[in-house]
Amino acid sequence: MGSVVDQLEQPAVAITVTVLALGLAALAFYSFWRSYKARKVRDTMLARERQLRSQFDAVLSSARDGVLIITQADEIALMSDVAASILDVNRADAVGLPIARLNLRAVDDQLRPILLREAFGIGRTDENPRIVGVPGRRGADDVRWIQVRARVVPDSLDEGPVTVVTMMDTSGLREAAEALNRSDAQFRKAMENAPVGMALVDLEWRLMEVNRAFAEMMGSTVSALRGTPFSALSHPQDLHAERDQLQRLYDGHSNRFSVEKRYVRADGNVVWAVLDVGLVRYAGGAPDHYVVQVRDSTDDRMHSELMAHRAMHDPLTGLANRTLLQDVLQNVLEQPDAEARVGVIAVDLDGFKGLNDRFGHAMGDNALVHVAGILRTAAAGRGTVARIGGDEFVIVVQDPDCSKALFEIAGAIHQGLKRPVQVKRHQITLHASVGIAMADEETTSGGAPSLLSAADAAMYRAKSTGKSRTEVYEPSMRTTTDAQSALAQDLVAAIEARQLVLHYQPILELATRTIVGYEALVRWQHPTRGLLLPSAFLPLIEDKNLSVALGTALVDQAAEFLAHGPSTTTWVSLNVSADQLGDSEFADRVLSAIGRYHLSPQRLVVELTEASLVAPNTRIRHELTELRNAGVPILLDDFGTGVSPLSYLRDLPVSGVKLDMSFVAGIPEDPAGARVSRALGALARELGLATIAEGIETEAQAEFLANCGWRYGQGWLFGVAQPAGAVGESRPQFTTSLIDPRPQEHDAAFAEDRLG
Ligand code: C2E
Ligand code: CA
Ligand code: CA
């Protein structure tokens, strides 16, 4: 050591050492101060950075996208929590690691493995996001798809540019898209095989896609229909049926709508279809396309049209019914100029009831169908033909030259009816009474009903003035019909009030001029109109119930007359129409009245016309046989006017005949009447029938008939029909003297003639 000191001068060494020491101390202080100062700055900066960082982290973690920052040296400088979660790695472990050493395998969208550097796009800027697959959490094969986008940004710390990678987990979206694709496929499949027609239609209402059912409905093929404007298939009349609703749908005023319209198939046939239309919109709400379900409703339509037709038509003849007729008439009357162009024809068959009674309803129906055909032909498209009741028809005529058309049609009806209709073995010629009414101020004052009733009034006039003819309405006719319908209404009450009474016309044995019986003839003792004869009211009885009620009331009256009348031996013959028979009630009434009044059954006689006697209706037959078997004689009224061969009489349950007065009227001047009377008398006697001649007004007739073998007679010569009370009190002179001294013989007369 001495040697070193020896080499230095002592004071200089000391100063140098001191300066050095001071310098070192100052340096030490400086360095201490400097490092203190630097630490202070750094602490501030660190705090500042911590603050920035927590704000940055907050931003990063609240962002949907994950963020990754990779340095130029490929080290992970930053990884947001979201990124760590998307990649399923530990953030703390990852930061600072070279990207290649990150424990993560990535695949491209074809499932091929790729380097992470490539997967994250380090060092490049992507225009569009890329799809990268990373391991999923549901097993080895599970892949989660993430959308990655890289961007190179220059680094502010001059450490070279870094790559900022943003990433988003799209697994959910991708699944949704796949599901969409899947459901789209399923939808297409369902659509293809749906039994109901389906179509996807673009906003221009063009068919984008249709299914087989739709194509079949339209009689075409799927490929031919694709691209076709939907409206091109529409029936021209329904072309715009869906337009307004489509607009509402488009505008968002409705969600869907249904419409029924017609389409024309490729083969030209028309189909009815119910369209159910919905609008598919984009996510943003803008309309995309329509989905249309199309159901073939042709059958339903046909069915409902059929039902509507049925409700408006007569099932028997297919003609319009009363409801439709009134609609049609109302309609045509509302049109301008109706008065010159519209008219109504009322048609009512003459004697149709008789035909029905005689041949049965099935034959009656045949005849109605036949008549319907004649009316249709006669109308020849100039109007609507309707059947509004049993044998009542109406034609509403609409023609520019209406009055000419009306007469032509009426003429054609009568002409057409001349062609006979085959009913069983018979050729029957039908006749009709026709009434015409033109629309004018008076006839249409009450609308359709008043025009109809005008035609009706004319028709009634035709009927009452000889039938088988045409009458044209004039206002005076109304009063008659009005009066008639009022009368028909009164009739119901009249029967109950016992205003319908029997008058009795004597029947005598011509040889002895003795009263042997009476024909009971009904009269209406009308409170305001006086005594009405049957012709004034019997034709008004259309209602079978009314007819039965009347018959019932009269049976009682006749029985009472027999029990309390002038004689205990004379008989009463009661007129019975076919519609009073057929339900056994009439026979029961007759027999019970006979029992109640303790009468001999032979004293109550029933008069029937041939129509009801030869009726094929087995119930009528049965009822008559029941009566005859009980001992009630049955007389054939209006004998000689019937149409069936006289040999029929042998098989009928008949005890006697009444010669029609038309033969009697001509006697003795009219040789034909005389001849027929003689022949019929001979025939009846041969058949063992009691013989009664009606309408004897002169002594000559009485003598002639007696000589021809007619045993009994009736007519004004011997007395008119009188009320029950009058019969007992004032016996006509001739009957007083000729009253039968041997009562039992009259019953015997019937027994002799037939009953045995
Ligand atoms: P009908 O059975 O042929 O009755 C005979 C009609 O000739 C009666 O007319 C009678 O008053 C009338 N008469 C009688 N004698 C003579 C005469 O000498 N000369 C002329 N020209 N006529 C004579 P009425 O009473 O008007 O009866 C008409 C028809 O009404 C009857 O014809 C009968 O078919 C029907 N009728 C009458 N009363 C009843 C009844 O109680 N029930 C039913 N169902 N029908 C009846
Ligand atoms: Ca009679
Ligand atoms: Ca008669």
Give 119-155 pLDDT, tens digit per residue: 999 988 988 888 888 888 777 778 888 889 999 988 6
Mutate to test the pocket of ligand 1, among 498, 504, 521 (most ligand atoms within 8 A of CB): 521
Q: How many CA atoms lie within 13 A of 558 on its CB side?
A: 32
**484 CA to middle of ligand 2, Å?**
24
CB neighbour list of residue 296: distance below 8 Å, 6 or more residues apart: 197, 217, 271, 272, 273
Q: What is the average per-residue pLDDT within 45-58?
A: 76
**604 CA to middle of ligand 3, Å?**
17
600-638 tens-digit pLDDT: 999 999 999 877 777 666 788 888 889 999 999 999 998
CB neighbour list of residue 41: distance below 8 Å, 6 or more residues apart: none
Please name the helix (run of DSSP H) or strand (run of DSSP E) that holds residue 627, with its range, or none.
Answer: helix 618-629
Determine how many CB atoms are found less than 10 A away from the CB of residue 269.
10
* Burial readout 454-468 (b: 16 or more C-beta within 10 A, e: otherwise): bbbbbbbbbbeeeeb
User: pLDDT at position 230, please?
Assistant: 96
**173 CB near ligand 1 (under 6 Å):** no
Q: How many CA atoms lie within 13 A of 5 on its CB side?
A: 5
Answer for the pair 264, 291: CB distance below 8 angstroms, yes or no.
Answer: no
User: Rounded to the nearest 10 degrees, what angle do helices 699-707 and 671-686 cross at?
Assistant: 40
**538 CA to middle of ligand 1, Å?**
11
**612 CB near ligand 1 (under 6 Å):** no
What phi, psi does 447 have (nearest 5°)? 75, -155
DSSP string across 445-476: TT-HHHHHHHHHHHHHHHHHTTSSSEEE--TH
User: pLDDT at position 260, please?
Assistant: 93
Higher pLDDT, 15 or 674: 674
Question: What's the Cα-to-Cα distance from 535 to each of 458, 470, 612, 659, rounded to whole Å?
Answer: 19, 21, 19, 20
Query: What domains lie within the chain, and their CATH numbers?
Result: 66-172 (3.30.450.20), 181-302 (3.30.450.20), 320-473 (3.30.70.270), 500-751 (3.20.20.450)
User: pLDDT at position 5, please?
Assistant: 44
Owner of token pair 């009211």: 537
**536 CB near ligand 1 (under 6 Å):** no
Q: Are strands 162-169 and 66-70 parallel, antiparallel or unpaired?
A: antiparallel
Is residue 13 over pLDDT 60? no
**627 CA to middle of ligand 1, Å?**
23
Taken in order 579, 582, 587, 593, is the CA torsion positive or negative? negative
Q: What is the average per-residue pLDDT within 426-436?
A: 91
Q: How far apart are CA 290 and CA 281, in angstroms?
A: 9
Prediction pTM value: 0.46
Give CA torsion, residues 107, 108, 112, 117, to 10 deg. Answer: -60
Q: What is the average per-residue pLDDT within 31-58?
A: 78
284-324 tens-digit pLDDT: 778 888 999 999 988 888 887 778 878 889 989 999 999 89
**23 CB near ligand 1 (under 6 Å):** no
Answer for the pair 386, 368: CB distance below 8 angstroms, yes or no.
Answer: no
The band of 422, judged by pLDDT with boundaries at 50, 70 and 90, is confident
**505 CB near ligand 1 (under 6 Å):** yes
Q: How far apart are CA 635 and CA 575, in angstroms?
A: 9
Answer for the pair 76, 102: CB distance below 8 angstroms, yes or no.
Answer: yes
* Mean of per-residue pLDDT scores for the chain: 84
Taken in order 374, 375, 381, 387, is the CA torsion positive or negative? negative
CB neighbour list of residue 531: distance below 8 Å, 6 or more residues apart: 523, 524, 525
β-bridge partners, 431: 350
Answer for the pair 688, 671: CB distance below 8 angstroms, yes or no.
Answer: no
Mutate to test the pocket of ligand 1, among 510, 612, 634, 694 (most ligand atoms within 8 A of CB): 694
* Burial readout 551-565 (b: 16 or more C-beta within 10 A, e: otherwise): bbbbbbbbbebbeeb
Is residue 173 over pLDDT 70? no
Q: What single-letter amino acid sits at 206? A: R
pLDDT-wise least confident of 346-360, 552-566, 626-640: 346-360
Q: What is the average per-residue pLDDT within 143-168?
A: 83
How many contiguous H segments (helices) and E segments (strands) does the chain have? 28, 29
The band of 17, judged by pLDDT with boundaries at 50, 70 and 90, is low
| 3-state class (DSSP) for residue 642 | coil
Q: How many CA atoms lie within 13 A of 216 on its CB side?
A: 11
Is residue 742 over pLDDT 60? no
β-bridge partners, 657: 636, 691
Q: Are strands 604-608 and 634-639 parallel, antiparallel or unpaired?
A: parallel
Determine how many CB atoms are found less than 10 A away from the CB of residue 443.
23
Mutate to test the pocket of ligand 1, among 357, 575, 697 (most ligand atoms within 8 A of CB): 575
219: left (phi over 0), alpha (psi -120 to 50) or beta: left
pLDDT-wise least confident of 192-206, 235-249, 400-414, 732-746: 732-746
User: pLDDT at position 176, please?
Assistant: 63
**695 CB near ligand 1 (under 6 Å):** yes
Q: Which atom of ligand 1 is nearest to the CA of 574?
A: 41
Q: How far apart are CA 509 and CA 706, in angstroms?
A: 9
Q: Whose CA is nearest to atom 28 of ligand 1?
A: 534
318-345 tens-digit pLDDT: 999 998 999 999 999 998 888 889 999 9
Determine how many CB atoms are found less than 10 A away from the CB of residue 395.
29
Is residue 744 over pLDDT 50? no
| 3-state class (DSSP) for residue 402 | helix
CB neighbour list of residue 358: distance below 8 Å, 6 or more residues apart: 611, 612, 614, 615, 616
**4 CA to middle of ligand 3, Å?**
190
Q: Whose CA is nearest to atom 19 of ligand 1?
A: 695
Name the DSSP class of 569. Answer: S
**324 CB near ligand 1 (under 6 Å):** no
The band of 738, judged by pLDDT with boundaries at 50, 70 and 90, is very low
Q: Whose CA is nearest to atom 30 of ligand 1?
A: 534
Q: What is the average per-residue pLDDT within 62-74?
A: 85
Tokens matching residue 754:
């037939």
668: left (phi over 0), alpha (psi -120 to 50) or beta: alpha
Is residue 740 over pLDDT 60? no
Answer for the pair 617, 583: CB distance below 8 angstroms, yes or no.
Answer: no
**575 CB near ligand 1 (under 6 Å):** yes
User: pLDDT at position 161, please?
Assistant: 87
Q: Which atom of ligand 1 is nearest to the CA of 714?
A: 15
Q: Whose CA is nearest to atom 33 of ligand 1?
A: 575
**540 CA to middle of ligand 3, Å?**
20
How far from the centroid of its chain's Cα atoms is residue 144's Cα? 62
**521 CA to middle of ligand 1, Å?**
6
Determine how many CB atoms are found less than 10 A away from the CB of residue 412.
16
Q: How far apart are CA 122 and CA 72, in angstroms?
A: 9
